[in-house]
Structure 1
């Protein structure tokens, strides 16, 4: 498998949205949101965007606090965490005003567990004008819409949905080292329910089978009735 990013419609839409945030005119808010179900490729495209745009990539987690968030951000900006939040806020603000960088926060759903974290992030944005992109699960968009003061700052709303067959072909041609015939690609797309993550798992299995069998192109007949996935088993309740 090749470690390359497939430029699907979802990916192109997100990259374009981030570009608009970076180059927005004066007076236009500069926050964005990327959301979608697990396995739609959100984290992969955000890591790519952060690397190619010299962005700041942070991953929230269940243990995050305001202090932890500020410490992670100041570290990415080249500073050092401090005991006092106010000192870190001042340091972060100065550094961001001198660096044109986008802040990407993955697993942003965790931010909504503490109002103080959201308020602090909003303060950083208001003070510096740095573009901020949140990445979360499918329910985060509704959660944000219920918070009017925060929602009005978001001008780029991007939802990652399942890919169509054209994107499935783009994905297969980009990451898989063997060729898939159209009938096998359609089978994979259907079995994966258009989910990018599951498609990549299936492509890996197809590639492994093709290399073992000496095939450069794999058809549905070649694949036969082999399973594409080994899903979790279902157990009967006892007692």
Structure 2
């Protein structure tokens, strides 16, 4: 599979949100929530977006404590971990005031739940002091969790709903990533079978490349892959089996 990144409609949504929040009125309203179904490519999209724009991408962890979260943020910023948690937080805030770097927290569902939002409150404190933007990338129900904490929800400048890939996005992905030529009909089948999830689209392309190499296919059409599973949807498989 070819290397490279596909600028999908979701990527353009992120760029639009960034421009709008940069011009916000209230400096402390610097939180942006990014929500979407699993498998549509949120992590790859936001990580690539971060690298292209000088933002700091941090993958949240289930085992994080407020202290270990601060340590991971400080490490991502190249800062010292010496001192108390408050020392580390102050160091982060001082750095962000100078650089105004945007922070992106992937798997943000780990930052809060229905019982506690201590880690999210720490992030809120940092944005209040620095005015920097923070993008929180979570699953579909993440905004509903944040809404339970009004003092944090009031800092949310925008909610970005990422969508499954459209046919044009899948066409662009297949053109950019596939090592073999795919017929238009096969690309449409990939779009249908993947349900617009980038993870499944990439798996389908990888599978097709293996079959094409084994059979010396220069171009692959629907007839070549008849009866083959282009991409495995585990939940769909279980549903079909009545599980």
Same fold (TM over 0.5): yes
Q: Deviations over 1:38-59 (max 9, x none)?
A: 1111000111111111111111
Q: Which of the residues 126, 129, 134 maps onto 1:127?
A: 129
What is the CA-CA distance between 1:14 and the residue it aligns to?
A: 1.4
Matched with 1:226 is 228
Matched with 1:31 is 31
Matched with 1:108 is 108
Matched with 1:2 is 2
Q: Deviations over 1:79-126 (max 9, x none)?
A: 111341121122111111111210011111111044221211110000
What is the CA-CA distance between 1:231 and the residue it aligns to?
A: 5.6
Matched with 2:69 is 69
> In the superposition, relative to structure 1, how do residues 192 and 212 fare at CA in structure 2: closer, same or farther (>3 Å)?
same
What is the CA-CA distance between 1:236 and the residue it aligns to?
A: 9.9
Verify the 8 A CA contact 2:32 2:156 in the aligned structure 1: yes
User: What is the number of equivalent residue pairs in this alignment?
Assistant: 236
* Runs ≥4 residues deviating over 6 A: none
Distance in 1 of aligned mates of 2:223 and 2:185:
9
RMSD: 2.1
Q: Deviations over 1:27-46 (max 9, x none)?
A: 35322111111111100011
Structure 2 counterparts to residues 38-53 of structure 1, below 5 A: 38-53=38-53
Structure 2 residue runs without a partner (length 5+): none
3-state DSSP of counterpart to 1:155: strand
Distance in 2 of aligned mates of 1:105 and 1:230:
28
Distance in 1 of aligned mates of 2:242 and 2:216:
41
Distance in 2 of aligned mates of 1:193 and 1:236:
20
Structure 1 residue runs without a partner (length 5+): none
